Structure 1
Amino acid sequence: MAESTRDIKRRMRGINNTKQITKAMELVSSAKMRKARISLEKTRPYYETVLSNIHDVISHVKAGHPLLESREVKKSLYIVVTADRGLAGGYNANINRLIHSKFKDKKDSISLITVGSKGRDFFKRRGYDIVGEFVGISEEPYFSDAKEIGELATELFIKKEVDEINIVFTKFVSTISYVPTTIRLLPTDEIMGDSSNQIIEFEPSPDKVLDYLIPKYMESSIYGALIEASCSEQAARRTAMQSATDNAEEMIEELNMSYNRARQTAITMELSEIVAGAEALK
């Protein structure tokens, strides 16, 4: 019985050490999430304004533009945003499953730009065509990262190596709610709109304006998605670590009860042996 109590105490120490780690990670993730939410609150109005402006401009342009060309979709490009680290519950798995469940039987119809090592490793192991990979930016993305991703995606579209560009990321709703989301970036009807009767004069020309505006739309949309994903990642990790800490506390409590029962049993047996020995000496 003494061996049993030692085992229980050893398990309690191990779980308590784990609890301290998960609690520390929970606190770190909470701090990072607050920082990411500040960035998100600043960024959302920016890329929503850019989207609104390009909507207004394109609705008045009748001439075709290479970046707005609609064609038969034979190959799709997906920008997949995951994390560089795990321990975030189902955050990475939800994004990976969203793509894999749709394209596992038709991998030839898709190319990927992966953001985050978790997505890169997942799709590499399954033989997907990865045309670009970006790691080390998932937790704290910069606009320059979005610009680099946007330039690569736009180049593939202009060269007709892909016929559409999509981005898959986790949209932040609240600290306990984040939703895997797919948005089609190019070509898209969302920014075409209906022409109004308002007359707009473009200087130097509509095409020149679009040459500047559409890449900005792409970069802003990608940057917005990266910020949304960063905030969702920290929220998911904080929730996962909080759950792990709570589970550890429950296990310690149960083990403490088991330890007390085992100790009580050992004491009872020792008392019984003493009483039996005293009776034998009479």
Structure 2
Amino acid sequence: MSGQLREYRGRIRSTRSMQKIFRAMELIATSRITRARSAVAASSPYARALTRAVSAVATYTDAEHPLVTEREDPRRAAVLVVTSDRGMAGAYSSNAIREAERLQAGLRERGVEPELYVAGRKGEAYYRFRRRALAKSWTGSSESPTYEIAGEVGELLVDQFLRGGEAGGVDELHVVYTRFVNMVTQTPHVIRLLPLEVVEGVEAPSPDELLPLYEFEPDVEQVLDALLPRYVSARIYNALLQAAASEHAARQRAMKSAGDNAEDLIRQFTRLANQARQAEITQEITEIVSGADALTAAR
């Protein structure tokens, strides 16, 4: 019986140690969420304004540019999957990977071969364990992404897109990340960056409304050449920031649940330890009484 009591006490000690870790990680994630949300709020207006500018140039001109022109027979598509570098964030990374798998299945149904690019160790480990080829991966900055990383990713993907599928590049660019809605809701999201597909903030004019006039200096092609790489980098940076805020929120929620579960386990093990201790005391009293009765009978 004493061995069982020692086992319960050992479990209580180990669970309390784990609970302290969970609480510490919950506090760290909580302290980082505010900064991550501020970064998202600061980057979103620039990304939206840049998207509107590119949309305006692409919408109100007849010039054809490779970054806004649909390819007739797309063969390959770049898929950037944004995951976390660390675990203990619940289903954050697995939800993004699941959404990426659905996207790749849809691309294959269209006859387009996906080419994987991954940000985050969790996504890299997932695909390497399954021996899936990765064109490029970036790790170590999922919790605090920088514009330099986004610029590096954007520059590589734009170069691949300009090469085209026939020359070993890609014909489309998709990004899978987790969009931060609020502290409770974070949803996996897919956007197609290239060719430019969605016109954000530009509504169709009414029949009696005059279209705005735009003048491009020096010309449309050079304006698009300058805007589109910045547009891709800004959208990727915003996606990385949204994913970082979502990761912190998911980790805070997961660690709170783990801490609450640890508290329940401690109460359960404490109750079992008390029962074992009571049984041990009862057994000792029974042995003492039995020994006393035996001595009395022997006299």
TM-score (norm 1): 0.94
Q: What is the root-mean-square deviation in Å for CA atoms of aligned residues?
A: 2.0
Determine the C-alpha separation between the residues in 1 that align with 2:286 and 2:144.
65
Letter in 2 for 1:165: L
Alpha-carbon contact 1:58-1:191 (below 8 Å) kept: no
- The amino acid across from 2:121 in the alignment is S
Q: Corresponding residue for 2:195? A: 187
- Contact kept? 1:80, 1:114, Cα under 8 Å: yes
Q: Secondary structure in 1 aligned to 2:61? A: coil
Number of positions where the alignment pairs a residue of Structure 1 with one of Structure 2:
282
Partners of 1:162 and 1:143 lie apart in 2 by 23
Question: Aligned pair 1:231/2:245, yes or no?
Answer: yes
Asked whether 1:271 is paired with 2:278, we answer no
Secondary structure at the residue paired with 1:254?
helix
1:211-261 deviation line (CA, Å, top 9, x unaligned): 111112111110110000000111111111111111111100000000111
Deviation at 1:88, TM superposition (A): 1.0
Does the residue aligned with 1:63 lie in a helix, a strand or coil?
coil
**C-alpha separation in 2, matches of 1:159 and 1:28:** 43
Q: Distance in 2 between matches of 1:186 and 1:104?
A: 19
Unaligned runs of 5+ in 1: none
- Alignment match, 2:24: 24
TM-score, normalising length: structure 2? 0.88
The aligned counterpart of 1:122 is: 126
- State the Cα deviation string for residues 27-73 of structure 1 (Å, max 9, x = none): 11111222111111211222122212222222211110011120122
Q: Could you tell me which residue of structure 1 aligns to residue 99 of structure 2? A: 98
Cα distance 1:191–1:214, how it changes in 2: closer, same or farther (>3 A)?
A: farther
The one-letter code sitting in structure 1 at the alignment partner of 2:258 is A
Quickly say closer, same or farther: Cα 1:262–1:55, change in 2 above 3 A: same
**TM-fit CA distance, 1:121:** 2.0
Aligned-partner SS, 2:63: coil
Task: Please list every run of at least 4 consecutive aligned residues from structure 1 whose deviation after the TM superposition is greater than 4 angstroms.
Answer: 104-108, 192-196
For residue 97 of structure 1, give the secondary structure of its aligned residue in structure 2.
helix
Amino acid across the alignment from 1:55: S
What's the % identity of the aligned pairs?
A: 36
The residue aligned with 1:169 is 177
Distance 2:60 2:76 in 1: 29
Contact 2:183 2:249 in 1 (8 A): yes
Using the alignment, how far apart are the partners of 2:212 and 2:12 within structure 1? Answer: 73
